[in-house]
A and B are shown apart, each in its own frame.
Chain A
Amino acid sequence: MVKAKSDRPGRLPAFDTPARTYPEAPVRRPVLIVGGSHTLAVRNGLSREQRPHIAIINLRQPKFASLFDEEVPTPALARAFQPKGVISMIGGNTHHAYGLFEHPEPYDFVAPENSALAEGRRTIIPYAAMLAMMRVSLARHCTAISALKSLFSCPVYQILAPPPICDVRFLLEEPGTFGERAQYGLAPVSLRLKLFNLQNRVFRSHCEELGMPVIEPPAEALDAEGCLLPQFADPDGTHANSDYGHLLVPRILETNHGA
């Protein structure tokens, strides 16, 4: 079992800048990234030279509260930033909520990319029901993405979250914040991947409606099954690390057409 490590040198403390009062003079970094916890991988993956080009806003941070209304971007965000490209990293961990650990009533579903079902006694949920549920779960994120898109006239992109980490058995020994939720064991990898793809389906579909291009997880960070390679995994078992973020940065900067 390999416990994933985040060992990128020069890792920054998480969002330690002092609280700001907006509006103030617009921040003129070429690329603005708005999202939740997955922004941390990018933040920690930036080289010293890259940092001046990218502003990162974690919508969960209290110091940015004046730019959001219950995590939905408001016009204050557009007044505070004048980027040439905007990246949404909104949402992305809902698939873990569904299936990092086994549900007390284990389940599985047939997915378009994988019809095989995991072993054991499971309730088989129709794909349409799973998709409907995922849409419900992601509705607030989709609302936030729509709001972000509407605020900026420059191109707005969505970065899909990193995929599940295949081997997270260490979470059973050290469940940490997951506590009793880990008591039923880990969900099968096949189910976790299906849930990840289901989540992406909803985001892709929503972004397509909005005319927003989607940036996929870097292929070099994935194993043959589509899981996140251990060297790109954060120790918490649900996020990617700075090396993964570092892989994303060139793609992010491309959204600014080389700025």
Chain B
Amino acid sequence: MAPRHPYVGLPDYQFWDQQPGSEGGPFFDPVVEVSFGIDLDEPVVTAGSCFAQTLAHALKRSGFNLLVTEKPHPLLTVDLLQDHHYGLFSARYGNIYTTRQLKQLLQRAYGLFEPRETQWEGRSGWLVDPFRPQIQPDGFINAADLEKSRETHLAAVRQAVEQLSLFVFTLGLTEAWVDRRDGAVFPLAPGVAGGVYDETRFAFVNFDFASVVADLQWSLDFIRAKNPASKFVLTVSPVQIKATYEKRHVSVASSYSKSLLRVAADAVSRANRRCDYFPSYEMVTSSLSQGRTYRGDRRTVRGDVVRHVISIFMKHYAGIELPKPANAAAAARKGRNSNDSGQAGKKQRRANTRGDKHLKEMGEALDVLCDEESITDH
């Protein structure tokens, strides 16, 4: 007998009231199926916005083989490595906020694009690389220092492309600043962390859907041409944008940007084999998470939430179940029994952030450097 209507018999996860996530409080699992698996020893390359740094760090701590092709010389001590961006990503490209930036990084690495802008003067009087202006404190002592570092860096990018098994890319922004002469796109506006803002040379752009998709598809095709077996996971950063140049409220600009990126990630993942969209964005921003996923600044993601995101990633792609965050069940119960903004909720939130040693360590470890933090109104 035919069902009464098309929704009859569909899985629970397709219904808001029945989806299993509602039992898990802020730690729900929205992943239904993945198109491939990953062995822990497969080389993983990550790139993207600040949240990609967070993911990279968490993946490494969880036992994944984060491929690092731009390695520090053994002389450099561990406490210097983060400041100099060693090991935060596979190579020292820093944060890649836009899909155009990713495309141009690949083009530059393979000699397909040579931007006219090669160096900016930094605040300290040293030079900075316009395409990774905060890659090391103070920048570079002279043009030769910068150029040698860039050569090393772009060689490491090529190695990463050709050796990776999985590429995890986190889409972060649609807004960017470009060179009017050749379209080179910068991660930060000129003047923020180096260079001089000159309206005649630099222009603001807010990439539209077609551009974002086209650039992402180009990058995927390019990597596959170099490395046919490569697999892709696309995510969207749940970190709200720090500032907008559009004449609109920053929350509206952020919503627009994230929405566009979310749809673009979906479009590209649907159009390509072995290319998944992984819903870390939803795990953080959905109302199912009960508003408990951001830190006090309501912009950056809490360490235990990142850990949960990674545990879901491991569960579905590597078949490894990690223990649930210690307070998940209790938080879920509290969430059902008390007002979210009430005293009980506050106490629980304090307990969640104070008691767990792992949480504390993750919080410290995840204190990532984010280029966007440099943007101020002065």
Interface set of A (CB-CB < 8 Å, partner B): 98, 103-105, 107, 109-112, 115, 117, 123-129, 132-133, 136
Report whether A129 and B74 are in contact in the complex, using a CB–CB cutoff of 8 Å.
Answer: no
Determine which of A98, A110, A124, A132 lies in contact with B141 in the assembled complex, contact meaning CB atoms within 8 Å: A110
User: A111-B141, A112-B141, A132-B80 in contact; A126/B75 too (CB < 8 A)?
Assistant: no
Closest to A107 in B: B73
CB distance from A96 to the nearest CB of B (A): 14
User: A133-B75, A136-B77 in contact; A128/B148 too (CB < 8 A)?
Assistant: no
Report whether A129 and B141 are in contact in the complex, using a CB–CB cutoff of 8 Å.
Answer: no
Question: Using an 8 Å CB-CB cutoff, how does the interface string of B126-152 with A read, 1 for contact, 0 for none?
Answer: 100000000011111110110011011
The distance in angstroms between the C-alpha atoms of A128 and B80, with both chains bound, is 11
CB distance from B136 to the nearest CB of A (A): 5
Residues of B within 8 A of A127 (CB): 140-142, 145
Residues of B within 8 A of A129 (CB): 72-73, 76, 80, 84, 136
The distance in angstroms between the C-alpha atoms of A139 and B259, with both chains bound, is 49
Sampled A-B contacts (8; CB under 8 Å): A103-B74, A104-B74, A107-B75, A111-B141, A126-B84, A129-B80, A133-B77, A136-B77
User: A110-B142, A115-B144, A136-B80 in contact; A128/B137 too (CB < 8 A)?
Assistant: yes
Determine which of A98, A105, A112, A117 lies in contact with B74 in the assembled complex, contact meaning CB atoms within 8 Å: A105
User: A103-B75, A110-B145 in contact; A124/B152 too (CB < 8 A)?
Assistant: yes
Question: Using an 8 Å CB-CB cutoff, how does the interface string of B75-101 with A read, 1 for contact, 0 for none?
Answer: 111011001100000000000000000
User: A107-B73, A133-B76 in contact; A128/B84 too (CB < 8 A)?
Assistant: yes
The distance in angstroms between the C-alpha atoms of A113 and B352, with both chains bound, is 54
Residues of A within 8 A of B75 (CB): 98, 103, 107, 125, 133
In the complex, the 9 A-B pairs of residues with the closest C-beta atoms, listed nearest first: A115-B144, A110-B145, A127-B141, A110-B144, A128-B136, A123-B73, A124-B148, A127-B145, A126-B149
Closest to B136 in A: A128
Report whether A117 and B148 are in contact in the complex, using a CB–CB cutoff of 8 Å.
Answer: yes
The distance in angstroms between the C-alpha atoms of A126 and B140, with both chains bound, is 7
Report whether A115 and B145 are in contact in the complex, using a CB–CB cutoff of 8 Å.
Answer: yes
The distance in angstroms between the C-alpha atoms of A133 and B38, with both chains bound, is 38
Residues of B within 8 A of A124 (CB): 148-149, 151-152
The distance in angstroms between the C-alpha atoms of A94 and B98, with both chains bound, is 44
Report whether A132 and B83 are in contact in the complex, using a CB–CB cutoff of 8 Å.
Answer: yes
- Chain B interface residue count: which class? 20 to 34
CB distance from A122 to the nearest CB of B (A): 9
Residues of A within 8 A of B144 (CB): 110, 115
The distance in angstroms between the C-alpha atoms of A112 and B140, with both chains bound, is 10
Determine which of A104, A112, A128 lies in contact with B138 in the assembled complex, contact meaning CB atoms within 8 Å: A128
CB distance from A176 to the nearest CB of B (A): 24
Determine which of B137, B148, B151, B152 lies in contact with A132 in the assembled complex, contact meaning CB atoms within 8 Å: B137
How many residue pairs link A and B with beta carbons under 8 A? The number is: 66
The distance in angstroms between the C-alpha atoms of A115 and B83, with both chains bound, is 24
Report whether A128 and B73 are in contact in the complex, using a CB–CB cutoff of 8 Å.
Answer: no
CB distance from B149 to the nearest CB of A (A): 5
The distance in angstroms between the C-alpha atoms of A111 and B144, with both chains bound, is 9
The distance in angstroms between the C-alpha atoms of A46 and B80, with both chains bound, is 43
The distance in angstroms between the C-alpha atoms of A112 and B141, with both chains bound, is 6
Closest to B126 in A: A128
The distance in angstroms between the C-alpha atoms of A109 and B140, with both chains bound, is 11
Residues of B within 8 A of A126 (CB): 84, 136, 140, 145, 148-149
CB distance from B128 to the nearest CB of A (A): 11
The distance in angstroms between the C-alpha atoms of A242 and B76, with both chains bound, is 36
The distance in angstroms between the C-alpha atoms of A127 and B77, with both chains bound, is 15
Closest to A106 in B: B73
Closest to A116 in B: B144
Residues of B within 8 A of A105 (CB): 73-74
The distance in angstroms between the C-alpha atoms of A111 and B142, with both chains bound, is 8
Question: Using an 8 Å CB-CB cutoff, how does the interface string of B24-44 with A read, 1 for contact, 0 for none?
Answer: 000000000000000000000
Closest to A127 in B: B141
The distance in angstroms between the C-alpha atoms of A143 and B137, with both chains bound, is 23
Residues of A within 8 A of B72 (CB): 129
CB distance from A194 to the nearest CB of B (A): 11
Residues of B within 8 A of A103 (CB): 73-75
Residues of A within 8 A of B137 (CB): 128, 132
CB distance from B119 to the nearest CB of A (A): 13
Residues of B within 8 A of A110 (CB): 141-142, 144-145, 148
Most chain B C-beta atoms within 10 Å of own C-beta, residue among A117, A124, A129: A129
CB distance from B229 to the nearest CB of A (A): 29
Most chain A C-beta atoms within 10 Å of own C-beta, residue among B74, B149, B152: B149
The distance in angstroms between the C-alpha atoms of A123 and B152, with both chains bound, is 9
Known contacts A103-B74, A117-B148, A128-B136; 18 additional CB pairs below 8 A are A110-B141, A110-B142, A110-B144, A124-B149, A124-B152, A125-B75, A125-B76, A126-B140, A127-B140, A127-B141, A128-B84, A128-B141, A129-B80, A129-B84, A132-B137, A133-B80, A136-B77, A136-B79
Most chain A C-beta atoms within 10 Å of own C-beta, residue among B73, B84, B140, B151: B73
Residues of A within 8 A of B152 (CB): 124
CB distance from B206 to the nearest CB of A (A): 33
The distance in angstroms between the C-alpha atoms of A133 and B73, with both chains bound, is 11
User: A110-B148, A132-B84 in contact; A125/B73 too (CB < 8 A)?
Assistant: yes
CB distance from A116 to the nearest CB of B (A): 9
The distance in angstroms between the C-alpha atoms of A132 and B136, with both chains bound, is 10
